[in-house]
Structure 1
């Protein structure tokens, strides 16, 4: 059992789980790493364009290379993580990513940087992120007590949303003052900070359970897939995340073209409007905790999605002048709902799944959810070229607004709280959860 603190005092209520040393270190490291990763989302393609004079196709390939490892090694990563201690995996992934991103400014300094080098770094660091994220979500229950998971994950989600705003703004400033490749060096340093924080953790991680005799890696992967496919709670959650990501990536693929060419705004205004979405994530992380405790994790999640999803229909209504508020409010509310849902559903996985399956369940759900990201991007771009940006935005917003009904079709609508533990043979009437403790980490997409 992890150390807990009396939160009856003002300081306890104000800082909550941040009063716990191990969580504070984990949160600090993840916040630093999140800031660096947000900088890299701008710095990596900017390096390709400014330093190597790459075209739009090359930049698209570079962006796809970051996500490709999820489809290739995502499922095996879950099985491997379940066989290993999670903290050493995370530390190794941090060091690999730090070396990969630091190699770019080093090669640029010697005048030998090539697009192939960038592509290899994107693939290598993307694969590292697969293992890190899988181990990270499986490791958090070792740091926090069950009753603190909702609050802890909400704080992680909130800091991730905040660093996304700061990182993207800092990336442009760093590139303007020091050059595009410097942003990647900053990201490498944040991985070092994260590693130092992980090394200072005192929590004793339980030893991983040895796989049963004859249980090969392939059979472990199948076991994780089967668990997700058969579980009445996880199945609609994964379907919801996949559809949501399809719609999110679809509208994000055309939003810049829509704002610049259809609405006619300048680049600074585009940045401010897109930033509004990231700010909504901070509110979503806060609401997930407050609403989950007051209304219940199941009922509160459905209510938040019902109240935020339909705001996507404001996006295609955007016009010059005061009409820009349609986009700002729509993006803000959609991001609020996405992050709030990630906080609740992600922590539910951490608490609900059997510990020996947690890595595989996390990997399976993230692979299935991420598989629709490239599909949504291509579909949104194709519809934009075929029908025009505004019409494409209507299609994607029309898909996004009601997709909360996928969650409502499952067992969430029948309970106040999500269950706290998996039951091999659930009773005909599920016992309500004892408390409202659920959460996870995310960002611009559902995990």
Structure 2
């Protein structure tokens, strides 16, 4: 007797949910309003804190620079372990606690100012601890969205949230400047605290059930082991590794250009800060457009193809910024910058959706933390390179260097398995061995085999580089041999399916598992 396979059909409720706008969902709408309130308040503080330090505490340029840097240094200091902590806790609880912490911290500044006790060390501590809370909020937020909307609406949700972020970048600082001008910097920081309070209240009212963090029967690994597992997972996954490299190169190049723009406008072109802000805001408009069209472009070209095709088309326009000068060339460069940043807005939707799709739920926090760490580190390197190249060669040389990097960054995705991916459902959740190449051998074994081949053929340069990278992988524990134990986090080891003969026969036969598409795993 022939056993027919039963193909599950989606229920009418599931089909209706897939075609509804994500904003029609009450829980997602609460998350959206929470993001809007928090980001608007953060944009106000972005201007109010340095203005308060300068006008009330008479801080110098160096002290203001330290104050600004402390807001992002937390990503480099605790970004990686924060992912392991987030994976151990309910995501909604982390979001609410992070927002309430920011309410208390930011609210302490206007209270101290009103009492006449405000001091610069207090502002340093508040900004740093607020950055720590922001690290936990951002990592938990990226891990929470897939649970809230489901995989079928993940791209639409990320497009909506990314569009909100880009709109906040364009308009938030303008609104913040008006608030600071009319009510003063100390009172403006109250608006920031109220925004975080509104955000915490909105997230606390979300009703969607969240799966509890997975617990294993064995003792939980140490924090540093879980952190290293997240790092190995990202660097060992061919798609995540490509997205991390693409994002790091793009962030480095954009930061290199933006820092150089400041020097170009003030010292070379002698243009006002308002004109600089206007040119930079065109980038925000481009990012907003990219986020809006990302779902349609992803459906038309394919999610993987869109990442490199849009990058290849828009990237060369960054070269126009190197020719900016008073007059028409200024607006030509601004238009080129707007077109260039379209790829960033699109990548913020499609790349993030891809990351969330290929990563198991138990690893989402650590994956997002690893990306935050790498991408934030690239921003710091880009700023340092801008100063180095601008001082040694020239400020326009720094802009052209960043523009060239933006123009070729799409090659990273083109040379990865993402190149021909059309739909997210082709990816699925795959727990691939970390520290191994697609052929199944460990990374160190593969690199040293390449080194031996290059050495025999007389190519000593590549052989030395391969050996150094292999040693680095061994030291970091990213490319162990087969005798070194499991390469995957215990939570990610898939349970093998039972053979058909051992399964109980019932009236309804479950469908056979589909084979994974070739070349994606």
**TM surpasses 0.5:** yes
Match of 1:187 among 178, 189, 192: 192
Question: How far apart in 2 are the matches of 1:150 and 1:129?
Answer: 24
Among candidates 119, 127, 151, match of residue 132 of structure 2: 127
Q: Secondary structure of 1:371's partner?
A: helix
Alignment partner, residue 445 of structure 1: none
CA contact 2:98–2:137 (8 Å) conserved in 1: yes
Aligned with 2:236 (options 215, 230, 233): 230
Name which of 249, 253, 270 aligns with 2:276. Answer: 270
Does the 8 Å contact 1:5/1:19 carry over to 2?
A: no
CA distance in 1, matches of 2:58, 2:281: 27
Contact 1:101 1:184 in 2 (8 A): yes
Q: Is the Cα–Cα contact under 8 Å of residues 31 and 156 in structure 1 kept in the other structure? A: no
CA shift for structure 1 position 416: 2.5
Residue 411 of structure 2: which of 405, 410, 419 is its match? 405
- Per-residue CA distance 1:136-164 (angstroms, 9 max, x = gap): 11111111021100001100000111112
Q: Distance in 1 between matches of 2:39 and 2:412?
A: 30
Structure-2 change in CA distance of 1:431 and 1:184 (3 Å): same
Would you say the 8 A contact 2:303–2:422 is kept in 1? yes
Query: 1:443 maps to what in 2?
Result: none
Preserved CA contact (<8 Å) 1:312 1:330:
yes
C-alpha separation in 2, matches of 1:120 and 1:36: 19
Counterpart mapping for 1:244-259 below 5 A: 244-259=250-265
Q: Relative to 1, partners in 2 of residues 1:225 and 1:7: Cα closer, same or farther, differing over 3 Å?
A: closer
Task: Kindly report which structure 2 residues correspond to 1:22-421, keeping only aligned pairs within 5 A, or say none.
Answer: 22-211=27-216, 212-418=218-424, 419-421=426-428
CA deviation profile, 1:283-303 (whole Å, cap 9, x unmatched): 011121110112211111211
Whether the aligned pair in 2 keeps the contact of 1:313 and 1:398 (CA below 8 Å) is yes
- Alpha-carbon shift at residue 384 of structure 1 (Å): 2.1
The one of 402, 407, 431 equivalent to 2:517 is: 431
Quote the Cα distance in structure 2 between the aligned partners of 1:269 and 1:414. 41
Contact 2:360 2:431 in 1 (8 A): no
Indicate conservation of the 8 Å contact 2:290/2:343, yes or no: yes
Could you say which structure has the larger radius of gyration? 2
C-alpha distance in 2, partners of 1:251/1:53?
Answer: 30
| RMSD of aligned alpha carbons | 2.3
Contact 1:246 1:375 in 2 (8 A): yes
More moved, 307-316 vs 145-154: 307-316
Aligned residue pair count? 429
* The 10-residue stretch of structure 1 (128-137 or 183-192) with the greater mean CA deviation from structure 2: 183-192
> Whose relative contact order is higher, 1 or 2, with alpha carbons under 8 Å and at least 6 apart?
1
Q: Structure 1 residue 422 and structure 2 residue 432: aligned?
A: no
Bigger shift: residues 419-428 or 129-138? 419-428
* 1:220 positional shift: 0.8
Deviations 1:332-377 (A, max 9, x none): 1232211211111111121211111111111112111211211211
Residue segments in structure 2 that go unaligned for 5+ positions in a row: 1-9, 440-514
